[in-house]
Structures are given as C-alpha cells and as structure tokens.
Amino acid sequence: MIRCVSEGKSGKYFAYASACELSGLVEFNIQYFSGWPKLAWLARLMPETNSVKLFHGPCVEINDRWAVEAVWAGDFGNGDFDQTDLVFGTGIRMRENRIVFVSSGTTLDRLCYCWHDNSWYVSNSLPALLAGANLSLRDDYHQYAEDISTIFFGLNEYKRLIPTTTDDVRLVYFNNLTYHNGCLTETAKIDTADRFETFEDYALFLAATAGQLANNMNDKRRRQQIYPLTTVSSGYDTAAAAVIAQRTGCRSAVTFMQSNSLWKGSDSGQHIAEQLGLSCKTYNRTSERYPLEESIWAAAGRPGVLNWTLFDYPEPLCLFFTGCYGDEMWDRRQWNLPYPFTGCTLANGGIGEFRLLKGVFHCPVPFWGVRRRSELHKINYSKQMEPWTLHNKYDRPIPRRILEEVGIPRHAFGQRKRLTSHEAAFLWPYSADSQARFCQFLKRRGLRVPSAMSIWLMRRWAWFENLAYKNIGRRLHLPDWGIRHYLAARARQLIFQWANGELREQYQSGFESNPSNCQNWAHSI
C-alpha cells in the first residue's frame, strides 16, 4: 500500500511501497504556485535520485496517489482517470511501480515531455516545460505551425518533435506516458466503449457517459466547484452536443451571431438553446480585443478559435462542451482517412494553453467513443436512419436524430454549413496590446515591423482574397492564387515563438515567487 506524508512548508511527500511495487524510496516534492495558471502542472523526474518534483497551479486536485486537472467518466474518489479514454483534462497517477501521466481523451489537448539535465520533464503546457527546463524555441526554425498541424493525419503520422535551442521537446496526444525504471514510454488508453451496432447503442452510450461525467464533476470531494457550459449553433455538431450536455445538468449556452462568410448568414443557435430550455448568451464573432490572445497562438501558431476567448466562462472552473470533430465522427460522407483520429485540426480547437489559464476542461462530445468511427459510419447508412437522412452534401443523420427526438424541428438546424473560426489567411495578432508586444519581439531581433495601417490593409486584403478563392476559384478548379500565402508565411515564422515566449515568462515569474504552503491544499481521500 502506498502512503504519503507531508512535511511542513517544504511541500515534501514521501511515497512508500512494498519491495514488489517500488524499488526503494520515491521522494515527491510538491509545490503549488498561486501565480501560475489554474490548471497547469509540471513534473521533473530525476532517476539518479529516485525523486519527483511536481509544480502546479491552484486548482489542480491533489491526492496521496494522484494529481489531476480533469473530469472523467468514473468515480472521482477512486482517481481511475488512467483507466478510461473518457477523460477531459490531464493528470498524474501512481500505479504500483509506475507513474502514469494521463493525457486528455481527445487530440485537442496534449502532453509535452523531454530529457534534459539528467531529468525527465513532463507537463500539460509547453511554455511551462520551457520555463521549468530553461529551454527556448528556435528563431531560425519556421515550421512549428506546420509541424503541429500534422496531427490532422492521426496518431501514427504527426510530427512529435518541437525543436529548441538545446534538447528537443516531444508531444503526445490522446495516449498516456508511463514512467518505469527511469524511462518514459507512450502507452495506449483503454477503450471503454462497447460496439455500436445500432443508433440505440450509441444513444445509450452517450447518455451513460453524460451521467458519469455529471457525477464526477459534482463530486463533493472536489475542492473547486465545476460549472458546465455548452456551445450551440445553427449547425449539427454543437447543437447535438448541447443536447448531450444538458444531460449532465448543463443549463447555460454560448453562441456567435455571425459566420465568417458574407452571404451564409447568422450561425446563432439561440433559438435551439431556447427550445432546449438553456439560457444562452450571444457574442459577436470578432472583436477589437481578445483576452489572453497569446495563449491561442501558443497552441498551434494559428488563430483558430480565438473568438472562444470572448466567452464568459463560469468561475472557478468550467466543463466546456463543444462539437469539435463532429465533421469526422457524424458526417455521412465516406472519408479517405482510415485511422479514427485523422481529420482533426488542433488549430480549430486549440485552447490547450488558454483553458489552463481560465480553468476550463474542454469536452468535445464527438470524441466520446472515438475509436468506433467506422461503426458510426455503418449506422449512418443503415435503414433505421433513413428517416433522418437528407441525401445532400451536408448530411448527418446521427446528430439530426438526436436533435429531432428532443423536439427541435428539422428546419431549425443543419441547413447550411457555416464557420465561425478565424481564418489563417494573415497571421498577425489582433488585439492592440498583443500587436505591440509582437512588434517589440520582432524589433529586438532586428526585423522590420510594418506600420499599423499596413497591417490593417494586409489583413483585409488577405481576408477578401481568401474568401474569393474559396467561393470562386476553388469551384472553378483554378490553381490557388494571390499574396496571402506570402503574408501568412512572413508572420508565421515567429508568431509561435513569440506567443510561447510570452507565456514562458509568466511561468518563470511564478517560479521566482514564493511557493504557497502545501498545508493549504494537501488532503487525503
């Protein structure tokens, strides 16, 4: 049996076990920093001294066998978040003679790790790891954004290395990391979903998962209360996700009133939220200022869901339901991407750094049972789904049935594909303060900085040209044209480095401040 004892202000924890479990004494030195992001953590594992240092933000839950910032489909007190793929957030779990670092059950979050200075560093934040290991990204490496986007090709094909000025950092999505005998290895998550042979099988699975997440989220043993929030739109995916989120007790929704096209109209899901009995707050898709903007650029080097920073997330913590990955899981079209994780773009769900700052657990409903995508495709083509099949290019029988069976009329949703994310036509910060800091970053490197008017003109020209090509040139099968690729490439070269550098400094400042007393948070379950 592992037991854990705290020692005053040092924050030390000593874990003991029988000889068959742990070889010798493993010393844990655990400290939290009140100035760190709510959900961030960084572990340093030192094989030579058989010790582990864990640093974390104020809202990470700590137990004598685990540390976690997540909601999962399981009992909170058991801490078995390493025994499920229905986990949203990350954590660290001691298992006999192993330590398991658990990633989120999606490819929209990740773990980072590296070997440096005779130690393993593992974190749920790239800038936290850079600060803890004293590493820096390379100014002469211009492919960070492109490398990160390769997660689109699935777990077997993405580029894992993030080059730094010294030792490279590795990324891991969906899978866990297991520390044993001084080594870190990537390990697959347990597949907890049964086979989906009918729509009813899938519907029961969604309902059961929603119930388990609700119980975990509302567990009285949690130190911080979690409030659910869901997105809702006029499309299929977020509207269906809102129906499922409602079964967790969610009563609040957010939506955007515009799409990013001139002629496709509003994407607001206000009418759907009202029919579901959800209170709904509507936001403009764009703004002159985006809170914590650098945290979005730091995730993937693209703006993606920058507008999600405008939402008012409930405090102190929020379980945030979205429809990300619905295109791949629920669409009736046959995709030429065989592996179940392919087709997901981190740029469109990249709130990995932002959510740590704001205290958000990102829970994209289509990822539930993600390894059953081929079974859902068969259900889409089954005779039982014919009443909910439209036989057009925008056809998703499963979410349509989910919505229509709770009383949402057919004409109220899923009529036209609309997008609200930020296009990557011109990569440059949007907020005035972010632009100023990025310009100073470039000037310190002796680079020419365009004037504010030039930035304004280039952004609008790139937007217009991108819109024209997508709606005219692509339909006419013309080769891509224009200067927007040049504009994007020039900014992309350093915007990822700038954003991660901004956050790295914040983590470094946290290290330099006095750590809080572990007695303020240590508890036993």
Q: Which is higher by pLDDT, 199 or 260?
A: 199
As a whole number of angstroms, the distance between CA 388 and CA 382 comes to 11
Q: What is the CB-side half-sphere exposure of residue 306 using CA atoms within 13 A?
A: 27
Q: How high is the pLDDT of residue 81?
A: 98
pLDDT at 472 over 90: no
Taking residues 213-240, report their average pLDDT: 97
| 4 neighbors 65 (Cβ within 8 angstroms) | yes
Average pLDDT, the chain: 87
| 142 neighbors 91 (Cβ within 8 angstroms) | no
And the tokens for 294? 């650098």
Q: How high is the pLDDT of residue 230?
A: 98
As a whole number of angstroms, the distance between CA 153 and CA 337 comes to 8
User: What structural domains does the chain harbor?
Assistant: 3-190 (3.60.20), 199-412 (3.40.50), 432-508 (no CATH)
Q: How high is the pLDDT of residue 423?
A: 74
**291-347 pLDDT tens trace:** 999 999 999 999 999 999 999 999 999 999 999 999 889 999 866 666 788 877 766
Token match 């650029």: residue?
Answer: 297
Least confident among 3-7, 34-38, 233-237, 254-258 = 3-7
Taking residues 407-414, report their average pLDDT: 93
Give the type of residue at 52: V
DSSP 89-150: EEEEEEETTEEEEEPPSSSSS-EEEEEETTEEEEES-HHHHHHHHT--B-TT---HHHHHHG
φ, ψ dihedrals at 77, nearest 5°? -65, -30
Cα 325 from chain centroid (whole Å) = 12
- E-only strand ranges, 249-396: 252-256, 279-283, 317-322, 360-364
pLDDT at 49 over 50: yes
As a whole number of angstroms, the distance between CA 450 and CA 458 comes to 10
